[in-house]
Amino acid sequence: MISKKYSSMLNNTSIIREFAQYASKRAAEIGAENVFNYTIGNPSVPTTDDFNKGLIDLIQNEDSLTLHGYSPTLTIYSVRKAVADSLNRRFGMEYVPEDIFMTSGAAGALAHAIRCVTEPGDEVITFAPYFPEYVPYVDGTGAVLKVVPADITSFQINFDAFLEMMNPNVQAILINSPNNPSGIVYSTETITHLAQILTEKQEEYGHDIYLISDEPYREIVFEGTDSPFISKFYDNTICCYSFSKSLSLPGERIGYVAVNPKCKDAELIINMCGQVSRFTGHNCPSSLIQLGVAKVLDETSDLSIYEKNKNILYKELTAMGYECVEPGGTFYMFPKTPIADANEFCNMTAHELDLILVPGDSFMCPGHMRLAYCTTTDMVERSLPLFEKAIKMCK
Amino acid sequence: MISKKYSSMLNNTSIIREFAQYASKRAAEIGAENVFNYTIGNPSVPTTDDFNKGLIDLIQNEDSLTLHGYSPTLTIYSVRKAVADSLNRRFGMEYVPEDIFMTSGAAGALAHAIRCVTEPGDEVITFAPYFPEYVPYVDGTGAVLKVVPADITSFQINFDAFLEMMNPNVQAILINSPNNPSGIVYSTETITHLAQILTEKQEEYGHDIYLISDEPYREIVFEGTDSPFISKFYDNTICCYSFSKSLSLPGERIGYVAVNPKCKDAELIINMCGQVSRFTGHNCPSSLIQLGVAKVLDETSDLSIYEKNKNILYKELTAMGYECVEPGGTFYMFPKTPIADANEFCNMTAHELDLILVPGDSFMCPGHMRLAYCTTTDMVERSLPLFEKAIKMCK
């Protein structure tokens, strides 16, 4: 019989997707150049030449059975070593290959990390605003996602609300910095305070609490932003990384779990990742893609357009009267909507101006809207008069 | 806290892996040429030049954002269409793209298919001998795997035992033909009989029963073997395919789910696959690899060495006195061990002759041993005197 769990999910349509589909429909009707589509967080710059050249080199010169053969259960050792070395070089860490497990992007990394450190029924705490896919990601593990309300003045952590929600059933804290949708980067002060609380709570509850750090936007940080390497601050940190944004490879599904070498169970957790894979049908990312990224670990695509677009939008929108916390990274910003009902505002701009924004309700933060400005600068500039019209229509 | 479920799995060592590790250890000690390693089912022939050329063409000529961009939730439409067209051309079917979902190999395909058609606690029936990873694959979905004892005279289906185990709680039947480990291909008679029973039982129980057909060895069938296309015989069939063996791409993790177009819920099941992915962190195979296989769907690697090795081994081993059902495909054979205790026999040949075989107990079929002859023909020929010694040592 058809599974009730998965068939019922088909009725829960995603609001992000609805707005994105409306943008596509309008593009077909009036031409893509007349639609101002800020809905989807898809990288807009190509991957690096070095990455593509590296793939071709592998295909032409590596033995077929080695290149396309099974990865070991714990993924390709030389790739794990290259990732550890790169993290050590860049962030002054002491990872060994045994701390690294290659995954199908950050989604795969989170699926493994959460399963390793929770039992069904345990609580995982995250902070609004947050990526809505965290709901199925955590639900799929059997754990329960609890959400700390946003601090909308800074989009740093609302520590008072967090402390109220902490209890001995909390086994993991899930954070995402630089953050989708706010674009905010957690400061050294925020991470230090969080680490201090978790250390105290571990002691108080008598069990480990893991900090699961979802970092696909780590490489997209703007000038002057304090951007600490999170694993440095707390031993029980599991970093979940993806190359989707840094190398513009979202379709290749490549990322990793890196367990802090100071975590006493680091190697055990990585070994368990190999067991989780058997349960989920994951069984390693593509071997070609694993070997391909290992050649370009210290590189990124040219990400400068994201900062350029942010600078224009932040300056112009705030001048028009929009209230917004300035993003420190990513390719998102998350202004307040001029009226309290973000759905009403976003429906209005979509239908009257072909300016397609996503209401903050999707990210558990009403009264805001997400702009994904991984678009051309031309589109950003041509959209400015529409933002001006929109705010005037609300007065 | 560390998950008990996944950490306890680390203590369940796989016997296949233990023998394979012993073979590697001996190869390091005495040289690989002196170890006769029949343990691992890893393709021994390269992929096709066309596949590698197709990848290079994509990398050099396709736009980076298209090539490496996110796949749609239901995987790349042009690839799904190419798979449907190829199946229709080759097997006289009428698949549409909406019946196809690309997966990370057969493991990914099974993870999706089983979740779509069972609820936790439902029974899934399979037939001994079977691939031992079916245990975690099914367990991970929440369903319960039940095993029908082998018919060791033919390794077709033991229908009497099957009928005894059928009950209204059975929602899916999992078959694997051509079979790992027996090498046997289910005949038209077997599949017809199975389809007839399932049709009757659907009527009797008042609910659908799905036939999940795991077909990674579909392209490796030997001369003269009756090899029906299973989905033709039963409407509620979900074909789970992998290109791992046909194109020698096990590391690239690429396969698909194809739901029989005559299944009334075909499109619903495929849509649900997109939801299962969100729960497991699967989220599509590599886009480059999806597009790459779509160019070579009617091709295979040169698979002739597997039949050549089978012919030598079957002829020589049976002449020595080994009892064996002749394989119709795959790169496995599954003879009786000369003594009843297969573990004892395989330990003896490993330690005294460096002839490394896997005991049938791993496949829920004691008194047998699996030979994975995806090796060089030279190794096969040089191993023959050792098989002769081994059977004499048992007399």
* Residue-level pLDDT at B120: 93
Q: How confident is the model at residue B48 (pLDDT cuts 50, 70, 90)?
A: very high
Residues 100-159 of B with CB under 8 A from A: 103-105, 107-112, 115-119, 122, 133, 136-137, 139-140
CA distance A110 to A244: 14
* Residue-level pLDDT at B268: 96
Q: What is the pLDDT of residues B161-176, one digit of tens each?
A: 999 999 999 999 999 9
- Domain with A323 in it: what CATH number? 3.90.1150.10
CB-based contact B136 A280, cutoff 8 Å: no
Nearest to B133 by CA among B166, B109, B164: B109
Q: What is the pLDDT of residues B287-321, one digit of tens each?
A: 999 999 999 999 999 999 999 999 999 999 999 99
Q: What is the pLDDT of residues A144-185, one digit of tens each?
A: 999 999 999 999 999 999 999 999 999 999 999 999 999 999
Q: What's the mean per-residue pLDDT of chain B?
A: 96
Smallest CA–CA distance, residue A46 to chain B, in Å, is: 5
Last residue of a domain, one of B233, B267, B294: B294
Q: Are A239 and A318 members of one domain?
A: no
Dihedral sign computed on CA atoms, order B15, B20, B26, B30: positive
- Strand bridging mode B210-214 / B170-176: parallel
Q: What percent of chain B has pLDDT over 90?
A: 92
Q: What is the pLDDT of residues B6-47, one digit of tens each?
A: 998 888 778 888 999 999 999 999 999 999 999 989 999 999
CA distance A225 to A91: 16
Q: Are A175 and A308 members of one domain?
A: no
Smallest CA–CA distance, residue A54 to chain B, in Å, is: 10
CB-based contact A250 B110, cutoff 8 Å: no
Number of domains chain A contains: 2
Q: Are B386 and B285 members of one domain?
A: no
CB-based contact A3 B117, cutoff 8 Å: yes
- Domain with B180 in it: what CATH number? 3.40.640.10
User: Is the pLDDT at B352 greater than 80, yes or no?
Assistant: yes
Q: If you search the block for the tokens 């993003």, which residue do you land on?
A: A327
Q: What is the pLDDT of residues B213-268, one digit of tens each?
A: 999 999 999 999 999 999 999 999 999 999 999 999 999 999 999 999 999 999 99
* C-alpha dihedral, A159 to A160 to A161 to A167, nearest 10°: 90
Q: Are B139 and B22 members of one domain?
A: no
Q: Which residues of B touch A109 (CB under 8 A)?
A: 281
Q: Tell me the three state secondary structure of residue B286.
A: coil
Q: Which residues of A touch B241 (CB under 8 A)?
A: none
CB-based contact B282 A108, cutoff 8 Å: yes
Q: Are A238 and A344 members of one domain?
A: no
* Structural domain containing residue A272: 49-294
Report the range of poorest mean pLDDT among A15-19, A26-30, A246-250, B171-175. A15-19
Phi, psi of A241 (to 5 degrees): -115, 155
Nearest to B287 by CA among A280, A361, A22, A254: A254
A304 touches chain B (CB under 8 A): no
Q: Which residues of A touch B110 (CB under 8 A)?
A: 281
User: Is the pLDDT at A332 greater than 80, yes or no?
Assistant: yes
Q: How confident is the model at residue A282 (pLDDT cuts 50, 70, 90)?
A: confident
Q: Are B226 and B92 members of one domain?
A: yes
Q: Which residues of A touch B251 (CB under 8 A)?
A: 67-71, 284, 286-288
Q: What is the pLDDT of residues B181-203, one digit of tens each?
A: 999 999 999 999 999 999 999 99
Q: Tell me the three state secondary structure of residue B99.
A: helix
CB-based contact B116 A4, cutoff 8 Å: no
What is the identity of the amino acid at A227?
A: S
Quote the ipTM score.
Answer: 0.95
Last residue of a domain, one of B294, B327, B347: B294
Q: Are B223 and B333 members of one domain?
A: no
How far from B114 is each of B109, B215, B293, CA to CA, in Å?
A: 9, 15, 24
Helix (H) or strand (E) holding B256: strand B255-259
Q: Are B37 and B176 members of one domain?
A: no
Within 13 Å of residue B381, how many CA atoms lie on the same side as its CB?
Answer: 5
Name residues whose C-beta falls within 8 Å of residue A367's C-beta, 6 or more positions apart in sequence: A152, A336, A337, A340, A341, A342, A360
CB-based contact A140 B281, cutoff 8 Å: yes
- CB-nearest to A281 from B42, B104, B248 is B104
Q: What's the mean per-residue pLDDT of chain A?
A: 96
* Residue-level pLDDT at A9: 87
* Residue-level pLDDT at B260: 98
Q: Are A354 and A217 members of one domain?
A: no
A216 touches chain B (CB under 8 A): no
CB-based contact B252 A287, cutoff 8 Å: yes
CB-based contact A288 B287, cutoff 8 Å: no
Nearest CA in chain A to B44: A65
Q: How confident is the model at residue B283 (pLDDT cuts 50, 70, 90)?
A: confident
* Residue-level pLDDT at A306: 98
Q: What percent of chain A has pLDDT over 90?
A: 92
CA distance A13 to A138: 18
User: Is the pLDDT at A202 greater than 80, yes or no?
Assistant: yes
A319 touches chain B (CB under 8 A): no
* Residue-level pLDDT at A46: 97
B64 touches chain A (CB under 8 A): yes
Q: Are A74 and A202 members of one domain?
A: yes
Phi, psi of B223 (to 5 degrees): -50, 135
- CB-nearest to A1 from B136, B140, B171 is B171
Q: Are A25 and A133 members of one domain?
A: no
* Residue-level pLDDT at B256: 98
Report the range of poorest mean pLDDT among A68-77, A84-93, A178-187, B372-381. A68-77
Burial class of B193 by CB neighbour count within 10 A (0 to 12, 13 to 18, 19+):
middle
Q: How far is the first Cα of chain A from the last one, in angstroms, to the nearest whole number? A: 54
Q: Are B21 and B92 members of one domain?
A: no
- Strand bridging mode A100-103 / A123-127: unpaired
Smallest CA–CA distance, residue A335 to chain B, in Å, is: 26
CB-based contact B272 A70, cutoff 8 Å: no
B201 touches chain A (CB under 8 A): no
* Residue-level pLDDT at B87: 98
* C-alpha B161: how far from chain center: 23
- For an interface test with B, give the residue of A242, A278, A374 to mutate (most B CBs within 10 A): A278
Smallest CA–CA distance, residue A291 to chain B, in Å, is: 11
Last residue of a domain, one of B263, B294, B325: B294
